[in-house]
Chain A
């Protein structure tokens, strides 16, 4: 399985990197989206439809390659971290400009980073908590850290540290920073990315045009992007989005339901892409000693949680829900595409005998009632429930369902009023600290609401956040992953790719493992 995936990834990256023919410039790409953006600003982007568009409008100091892992220079032409790990020096590239033609200068970098790390503004400031100060001398930028931070390099390649124009914000209407960001996004957006937002009809369409001052070179030696413009259409209904592509009215449609992937793969006019992602589907288990009703919680026992995991046939779930287009989780703590992910074998491979033995050890009696909280209206969740109800009945569990909407599920996760509930995650940052903090580190969010509080894990996590020696950090992460899988605060389910259907003429489009839609190297065959 791993080899198959590896081959798929390799084949994909080969097609993405070396197109069979020379690129062609010009044209407008029409792209059907599942949801609309609201405010595409580096620090206020808090929903995926916003976050995943930022890199098209704003460039970062450093960049990651399409794999989301390898860091390369961006607006900064070079960078170096001092040996004590407390000072990061960068040099701003010469001759770079914003979309309005003005120079990108050190003052813009300082302004953007100060904005990004201000906890009173956007929700992402915590990711830059280690920064003490940002200073500049001409084009030399110095970031001083309070403590060594192994994530800082990747953070400067992440959407929230993208560079905005200080002058544009200074002159924008509005009093607060958010009002200014809104005013700019409507009137005259000034960006540092390959495209500029030209028009936005809320809920209906959005239009990007090429930023002719963009610095990065294409394969033909001319500045990117290849496209003149992109028209985004918001088509929330899956079936309609696909029809729109089949009718030739759009060049691409994202978020193809997995049930339709095989059909579109067979269509010779369509190139059905499954981009590797950091998306994992899992179910947090309430590990508290008592349930919200004050009764003893059988799931507080590690063996009970392990039994449920062994009794879950992940391959069957993948067939039922993803029609085969996914793989079981191999690391308990993250998708296998994340940096420092360990593990090659599926976690808790389906084994009914082990499950029964563990269930007996945990004292699960036939008819033990457990409730699964699912999203009302989600077809996937409905299948998960039916399948788990059947699978877990083999070890004596009587599974009932409680259907709620997203906000209610979120509230229950925080209050602990659940046994097990469905959930999913996509990394926003490719450093594993974000997802590991979310799933396992108690102080962040009570280990994704499970209340699992493991002193060894917590101290490993804290140490890894200050460990600048990469090998040592990798060891810490390996230990955390083993420990987490063993303790099983989750039902480990599966990883899913991003399914995007493209017309045959569309080349070079990439959705990164973090979900970001990358149009800078996209082109249309005439």
Chain B
């Protein structure tokens, strides 16, 4: 099978996933207690006003009719109108998705920059002082809540030293880089801790493998051995982990986005759930499903590039 047909078949396999996601989210959202009319009109509305609102939102239609409209609209690219924001769901998501994607990629970049070298150092000095210090520091990173790290960074680096702005997103690319540096770092401190531990143990495993000893016996330089034989093999499981954490990060930047006032989709999702904004919740979930599936696909592609044994035969 060529890699093109492999890619195509993987993309086709995503379709049932999306259908399943649509059905599940459609039903789950409606299982939440409290209907959107109540959430929307808050308490002040009378029963008659609520009824008029339900009518307008189509909430009185039978469930299957609502589902039919939902699927039909999704297929035509129409995600509906957000009840909360009184604007088209697709527009709202497109406005705010790039912010979260930017933040996520930025955080991943930081995580790799932090975790990669430190994992190598820790592994090469297994159980010695450097290893213990590095692992100890990451343990702190892993066990401190994200919002707390965020607030600490904001208080000292932004409000006190004034090196960075206190939250926000900025207008231009470089402003985004500047504004999102602290939030990305905050997220990275957590993610890099996970990646570092995984990469360290993989390296330790690989470094004693026979093919590495063979390479050493051939007289290859240590740097070359590390790059070509050790890291490449050790990275296979780390890439899987990274792929999984990107999926998590994407939908889980809520806390970081709130603390740093970053207008991304994480915060939007929370607002949407509290407001019982069915169209917006459905639209966001579908978007997350697409993104996570794409990230997983990308992860598989990278893995098969790293390890030829994983390539489709």
Query: Do B34 and A235 touch across chains, with their CB atoms under 8 A apart?
Result: no
Query: Do B41 and A46 touch across chains, with their CB atoms under 8 A apart?
Result: yes
Query: Do A247 and B87 touch across chains, with their CB atoms under 8 A apart?
Result: no
Number of interface residues of B (CB under 8 A): 45
Q: A123-B49, A240-B261, A407-B38 are in contact. Are A249 and B154 (CB under 8 A)?
A: no
Interface residues of A in 380-419 (CB under 8 A from B): 404-414
Interface residues of A in 196-218 (CB under 8 A from B): 201-204
Q: A235-B167, A236-B261, A247-B158 are in contact. Are A202 and B39 (CB under 8 A)?
A: no
**Is A438 an interface residue, CB under 8 A from the partner?**
yes
A234 to B264, CA, bound (A): 12
Pick from B5-13, B63-71, B223-231, B267-275 the stretch touching chain A. B267-275
Question: What residues make up the interface of A, taking CB atoms closer than 8 Å to B?
Answer: 38-39, 44, 46-47, 119-120, 123, 126, 178, 182, 201-204, 233-237, 239-241, 243-244, 246-247, 249, 404-414, 423, 428, 438, 444-445, 448-449
User: In the assembled complex, which residues on chain A have CB atoms less than 8 Å from the CB atom of B84?
Assistant: 38
User: In the assembled complex, which residues on chain A have CB atoms less than 8 Å from the CB atom of B165?
Assistant: 249
Q: Write the chain B residue with the least CB distance to A424.
A: B43
Query: Do A249 and B39 touch across chains, with their CB atoms under 8 A apart?
Result: no
Query: Do A247 and B92 touch across chains, with their CB atoms under 8 A apart?
Result: no
Query: Do A123 and B261 touch across chains, with their CB atoms under 8 A apart?
Result: no
**Is B166 an interface residue, CB under 8 A from the partner?**
yes
Could you list 11 examples of A-B contacts with CB < 8 Å?
A47-B42, A123-B41, A182-B87, A202-B263, A203-B95, A233-B168, A236-B261, A240-B261, A243-B158, A247-B159, A409-B34
B166, B267, B273: the one contacting A203 at CB < 8 Å is: B267
User: In the assembled complex, which residues on chain A have CB atoms less than 8 Å from the CB atom of B215?
Assistant: none
Q: A407-B38, A438-B44 are in contact. Are A247 and B259 (CB under 8 A)?
A: no
Interface residues of B in 247-303 (CB under 8 A from A): 258-261, 263, 267-268, 273-276
Query: Do A204 and B169 touch across chains, with their CB atoms under 8 A apart?
Result: yes
Query: Do A236 and B267 touch across chains, with their CB atoms under 8 A apart?
Result: yes
Query: Do A407 and B261 touch across chains, with their CB atoms under 8 A apart?
Result: no
B34, B259, B261: the one contacting A410 at CB < 8 Å is: B34
Question: What residues make up the interface of B, taking CB atoms closer than 8 Å to A?
Answer: 32-36, 38-46, 49, 52, 84-87, 92, 95-96, 151, 154-155, 158-159, 162, 165-169, 258-261, 263, 267-268, 273-276
Q: Write the chain B residue with the least CB distance to A248.
A: B162
Besides A233-B261, A240-B151, A241-B261, 17 more A-B contacts (Cβ < 8 Å) are A38-B87, A47-B42, A120-B52, A182-B86, A201-B95, A203-B96, A203-B267, A234-B263, A237-B258, A240-B260, A243-B155, A243-B158, A244-B166, A244-B167, A407-B34, A410-B43, A411-B35
Query: Do A445 and B34 touch across chains, with their CB atoms under 8 A apart?
Result: no
User: In the assembled complex, which residues on chain B have CB atoms less than 8 Å from the CB atom of A201?
Assistant: 95, 263
Query: Do A237 and B261 touch across chains, with their CB atoms under 8 A apart?
Result: yes
